[in-house]
């Protein structure tokens, strides 16, 4: 027999032996299906005790399916309890007598009709209002005080930083100390936010105090304008006894022009016609002036101060004389609203107590 036929025969016999071995190990289709089903049930969800202990098969349960049937029954019980809970939740009725499940179904139908990413305006307003209520309840600490009201805004701090950067080389400023760390300024801001009038008895206003007064006013103007409030007359009126102090105050307020705040200085050092022309060309938010020149411009109808919201009176003491006090009283009568008033004085003398009480109505806070 040729060698080629021997190789073919060997290969054929090898295939026959392989087939016989596979048939001897083969089980019936039914038993194979049961074993596969059992393996699928046991994969990944066996308890620790089931993996460690084994029970022998019996005549009633030759394939040990009883353990798996117990697990299936437990799963069915869990499903039933979940369904029962869901059915109970569906039966919950709100205080107004409307069914919660019906409201949910209506909301889902409206969302489905308008698209997944689109919600009706009325629903969106309700969501925003509930979120605001939740935020308000979370942020409330004591009464009407919230976390946001406990410190000045970032905008106010940026105003202070702008003033300090511009006045870095001014000797009147205390070097090495940021303005927003000034304790007087923080107390003033608290009084300004609550609408409490301020009395300072340590003399005239310093550069740091002027910066805090101006920055707080800028912050209030910006917030009110966002709410839709417009100011037709100047917002802040800073009364000073001399031209030199008016120049100092304007130097501190001038950097706030970066935030859209214009400051005008009115004093006897400039001509009346020049100041009238300046008031016509711009509408200043801050006015720094001496009382006599301001009364002169008001009589000429060059300026309207009836809507001033913040009145700062600087250096009200015996050295300025009674004429200064009388002019301030006349100016106060021209303001129709109740402005937030800050009074700087170097002492409380009997002749000035009645004037101070008339210029500073309650509530009033003495900072010094």
Q: What pLDDT is stored for residue 126 in this prediction?
A: 40
Q: Is pLDDT at 101 greater than 80 in this prediction?
A: no
Q: Is pLDDT at 212 greater than 80 in this prediction?
A: yes
| 6-15, 63-72, 231-240, range with greatest mean pLDDT | 231-240
Q: String of b and e for 71-96 (b: at least 16 CB within 10 Å)?
A: eeeeeeeeeeeeeeeeeeeeeeeeee
Q: Is pLDDT at 307 greater than 90 in this prediction?
A: yes
> Is there a contact between 83 and 73 (Cβ–Cβ < 8 Å)?
no
Q: Say how many residues make up the chain.
A: 368
Q: What pLDDT is stored for residue 354 in this prediction?
A: 74
Edge-to-edge strands, sheet with 310-313: 263-266, 286-289, 236-239, 310-313, 340-344, 197-200, 364-366
Hey, how many other C-beta atoms are within 10 angstroms of the C-beta on 43?
8
Of 312 and 63, the structure prediction assigns the larger pLDDT to 312
pLDDT band of 359, cuts 50, 70, 90: confident
For the chain, list the domains and their CATH numbers: 155-366 (3.40.50.300)
Alpha carbon distance, N-terminus to C-terminus of the chain: 127
Phi, psi of 63 (to 5 degrees): -110, 15
pLDDT band of 345, cuts 50, 70, 90: confident
Which stretch of 69-73, 87-91, 199-203, 350-354 has the lowest confidence by average pLDDT?
A: 87-91
Of 357 and 133, the structure prediction assigns the larger pLDDT to 357
Q: What is the mean pLDDT of residues 177-186?
A: 86
| 71-85, 101-115, 261-275, range with greatest mean pLDDT | 261-275
Sign of CA dihedral 256, 261, 267, 272: positive
> Is there a contact between 202 and 346 (Cβ–Cβ < 8 Å)?
yes
Q: List, for residues 190-211, the tens digit of each pLDDT value.
A: 999 999 999 998 889 999 999 9
Which stretch of 22-36, 46-60, 99-113 has the lowest confidence by average pLDDT?
A: 99-113
% of the chain beyond a pLDDT of 70:
62
DSSP assigned state of 96: T
Q: List, for residues 37-83, the tens digit of each pLDDT value.
A: 776 666 555 554 444 455 666 767 766 666 555 555 555 555 555 44
Mean pLDDT of the chain: 74
Q: Which two tokens stand for residue 314?
A: 């600087």
Q: What is the mean pLDDT of residues 314-319?
A: 84
Rounded-to-5 percentages of helix, strand, coil across the chain: 60, 10, 35
Q: Which two tokens stand for residue 309?
A: 């919201």
Q: Is pLDDT at 32 greater than 50 in this prediction?
A: yes
Q: Is pLDDT at 236 greater than 50 in this prediction?
A: yes
Q: What pLDDT is stored for residue 201 in this prediction?
A: 87
Q: Which helix (H) or strand (E) holds 266?
A: strand 263-266
């Amino acid at each position: 027999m040729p060698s080629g036929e021997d190789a073919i025969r060997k290969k054929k016999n090898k295939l026959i032996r392989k087939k016989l071995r596979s048939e001897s190990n083969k089980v019936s289709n039914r038993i194979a299906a049961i074993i596969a089903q059992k393996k699928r049930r046991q994969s990944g969800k066996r308890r620790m005790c089931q993996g460690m202990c084994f029970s022998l098969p019996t005549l009633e349960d030759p394939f040990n399916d009883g353990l798996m049937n117990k697990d299936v029954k437990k799963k069915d019980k869990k499903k039933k309890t979940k369904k029962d809970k869901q059915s109970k939740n569906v039966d919950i009725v709100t205080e107004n007598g409307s069914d919660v499940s019906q409201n949910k179904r209506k909301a889902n139908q409206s969302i489905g009709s308008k698209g997944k990413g689109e919600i009706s305006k009325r629903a969106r307003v309700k969501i925003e209002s509930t979120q605001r209520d939740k935020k308000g309840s979370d942020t409330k600490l004591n009464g009407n005080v919230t976390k946001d009201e406990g410190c000045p805004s970032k905008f106010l701090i940026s105003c202070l930083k702008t003033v300090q950067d511009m006045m870095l080389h001014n000797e009147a400023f205390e070097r090495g100390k940021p303005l927003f760390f000034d304790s007087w300024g923080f107390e003033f801001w608290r009084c300004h936010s609550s609408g409490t009038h301020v009395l300072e008895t340590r003399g005239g206003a310093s550069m740091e105090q002027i910066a805090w007064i101006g920055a707080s006013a800028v912050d209030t103007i910006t917030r009110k304008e966002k709410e839709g409030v417009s100011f037709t007359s100047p917002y802040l009126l800073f009364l000073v006894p001399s031209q030199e102090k008016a120049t100092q105050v304007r130097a501190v307020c001038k950097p706030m022009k970066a935030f859209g705040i214009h400051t005008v200085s009115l004093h006897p050092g400039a001509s009346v016609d020049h100041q009238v022309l300046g008031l016509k060309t711009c509408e200043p938010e801050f006015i720094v002036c001496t009382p006599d020149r301001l009364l002169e411009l008001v009589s000429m109808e060059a300026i309207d101060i009836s809507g001033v919201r913040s009145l700062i009176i600087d250096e009200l003491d015996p050295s300025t004389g009674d004429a200064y006090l009388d002019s301030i009283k006349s100016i106060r009568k021209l303001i129709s609203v109740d402005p937030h008033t800050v009074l700087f004085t170097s002492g409380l003398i009997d002749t000035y107590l009645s004037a101070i009480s008339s210029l500073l109505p309650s509530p009033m806070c003495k900072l010094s």
